[in-house]
Chain A
Amino acid sequence: QLQLQESGSGLVKPSQTLSLTCSVSGGSISSSVSHSWTWIRQPPGKGLEWIGYIYHTGNSYYNPSLDSRLTISIDTSKNQFSLKLRSVTAADTAVYYCARGGTSDWFDPWGQGTLVTVSP
């Protein structure tokens, strides 16, 4: 079945760029024409925050509160999609999840999540 796995740096210094990759297995990103590929985060002890998503075509939609710092890209040849968040602060410390998005904005499955800490 479809599985997603996040990878990337777990510790980022303030003002630097947070970079994560989500590797998809058990299915092809290219063949999922109606699905989005999504990033969601959860600060420690807090709720979920939608970051943004991208389609296999490269069309993307971002949370307006992160838009100016955010880039989500997709590499169909590697069956991966990625997130870059620039100029991070401690407020960006969170568990970051990748997930597949459905046609009416449900999310399934999810990756296991990766904790990213922003600290000097």
Chain B
Amino acid sequence: QSVLTQPPSVSAAPGQRVTISCSGGGSNIGNNNVSWYQQLPGTAPKLLIYDNSQRPSGIPDRFSGSKSGTSATLGITGLQTGDEADYYCGTWDSNLRGVFGSGTTVTVL
């Protein structure tokens, strides 16, 4: 049972926009920064967003992040077939541990 809750799956047509929610509580998202990871099939996760909304070098601006209260959201615009992957949110929890979301599978219709 993950501490952070994400929808199991989201889908949209190419070129459309999807959003993925990550819901937590005051002990984690409410008091810490959130990061997002993309895991393509059979590969290691890759950092997409850090500090709630910052993109590492090389990550296109089609990917965006935001945080409000105890929830965070990842947005993907201009959806491409190459975006089909699992996406995870992550943060720190006051129980002195790192926590990840349950993961969301993005499907391009």
A interface residues (Cβ-Cβ under 8 A, vs B): 38, 40, 47-50, 53, 61-64, 97, 102, 104-113
Name the residue of chain A whose CB is nearest to the CB of B36: A106
Partner-A contacts on B (CB < 8 A): 2, 32-33, 35, 37, 43-47, 50-51, 56, 88, 90-92, 95-103
Q: Which A residues touch B91, using CB under 8 A?
A: 105
How far apart are the CA atoms of A61 and B13 in the complex, in Å?
A: 42
Bound complex: CA of A99 vs CA of B75, how far in Å? 24
Cβ distance A115 to chain B, nearest Cβ, rounded Å: 11
> A110 CA to B39 CA in the complex, in Å?
11
Q: Give the complex CA separation of A113 and B42 in angstroms.
A: 10
Contact B46 A110 (CB under 8 A): yes
The residue in A47, A104, A105, A107 that gathers the most chain B C-beta atoms within 10 A of its C-beta is A105
Residues of A near B99 (CB, < 8 A) are 50
